[in-house]
Homo-oligomer: A and B are copies of this chain.
Amino acid sequence: MPARFTALVDSLPATVPFVGPETQERARGSAFRARIGANENAFGPSPAAVAAMQAEAAEAWKYCDPENHDLKHAIAAAHGVAPENVYVGEGIDGILGLVVRLLIAPGMPVVSSLGAYPTFNFHVAGFGGRLVTVPYRDDREDPQALIDAVRREHATLVYIANPDNPMGTWWPAADIRRMVDGVPDDALLLLDEAYAEFAPDGVSPALDPADPRVLRLRTFSKAHGLAGIRVGYAIGAPALISSFDKIRNHFGISRISQAGALAAIRDPGHVARVRDEVEAARARIGGIARANGLVPLPSATNFVTVDCGRDGAFARRVLQALVGRDVFVRMPGVAPLDRCIRIGCGRPVELDILEQELPAALEIAARG
């Protein structure tokens, strides 16, 4: 055998967390007509962000500012925290990997929900952590059960998304605050708020940014419409934030991305407009689902998870039939969540296609 890998690496499967729509398009030999599967923001980024990125393109011969100084300060100002509370990283995905690396040595337990974000599980496995899962309850993550598992397992890391992906459901801020209160002093709650901007008021809790027990995760990928630029951020206690410096890829963020994110965070009006569009799209997806005898789950995100009313095999057939009819959607991976498919808040033209294709997809799926 050639270069020898670590025992840990040898033990890892060669699976990937997600297959991109481009991969599917290459396999199909044709493009999707509706790209509503990856929880992207089809309403796009702020025109100010686009202009800033276009202007920065010619400056791309320079390395980025490795401190992300201007962006970090703008994020801090937007959230009313100090720059020392903010870490800017390569998307929430990248930050999740770093947090696991900071806290988890091989064999240590990490708590998440069964069916929650696969990329977090990928990183836990990648550093040898032992994933401990708690079932969803009524299609919501179960904060108390997660905390119970942390205490039972003496875990130092626990993950929750609020609002949740893949279900779209959420907890009010008070419940999340109660969860934080239950985190042991030597543990850390990763509070993934990727979809926070789409949620009603009162979902994102006020938290003490000096509390070492919680790290809040945000992103430019969703409400800001900048999934392609790979910028997320974390808000937490300075001792944790500064520890990223020990292991991060210091020049890891594109200079163009820095410019785009900075312009985006300075344009809250765009996020407000996106929120309105998303709310309208959620209502329309709900209507399309109900018109086809399906049950849309309540959503505080930019997607609607739709209960297809039968088992995972049926929902998978619905999904495959939609994909076969040029509609890119995804679905939760494990039972009982996998009785659902997950439909993104596309533009009206994409939802027209969904509306047109869903009846036939259901008919194909029903044939078995």
Contacts and interface: CB of A to CB of B under 8 A. Distances in A.
A308 B363 CA distance: 79
A227 B62 contact: yes
Given A102-B6, A247-B9, A65 B254 contact: no
Nearest to A20: B66
Interface in A280-317: none
A35 interface: yes
Given A8-B105, A18-B66, 18 more contacts: A2-B212, A3-B102, A3-B103, A6-B101, A6-B102, A6-B104, A16-B245, A20-B64, A20-B66, A40-B62, A42-B61, A53-B60, A54-B57, A63-B221, A90-B249, A93-B252, A119-B250, A254-B254
A44 B65 contact: no
Given A63-B228, A249-B97, A105 B6 contact: yes
A247 to B, nearest CB: 5
Contacts of A4: 103, 156, 186
Contacts of A57: 50, 53-54, 57, 256, 260
A251 B93 contact: yes
Interface of A: 1-9, 12-14, 16-18, 20, 22-23, 26, 35, 38, 40-45, 49-50, 53-54, 56-67, 69, 90-91, 93-94, 97, 101-105, 119, 126, 156-157, 185-188, 212-213, 221, 225-230, 237, 239-240, 242-243, 245-247, 249-257, 260
B249 A229 contact: no
Nearest to A54: B54
A320 B119 CA distance: 45
Given A22-B69, A90-B90, A14 B253 contact: no
A41 B59 CA distance: 10
Contacts of A18: 66, 250-251
B186 A2 contact: yes
B26 A69 contact: yes
Contacts of A119: 250
Contacts of A221: 63
Contacts of A22: 65, 67, 69
Given A61-B42, A240-B2, A256-B228, A23 B67 contact: yes
A195 to B, nearest CB: 15
A8 to B, nearest CB: 7
16 contacts: A3-B187, A3-B240, A5-B103, A9-B243, A9-B246, A12-B246, A18-B66, A18-B251, A20-B65, A20-B251, A56-B228, A57-B260, A60-B225, A93-B249, A126-B246, A256-B256
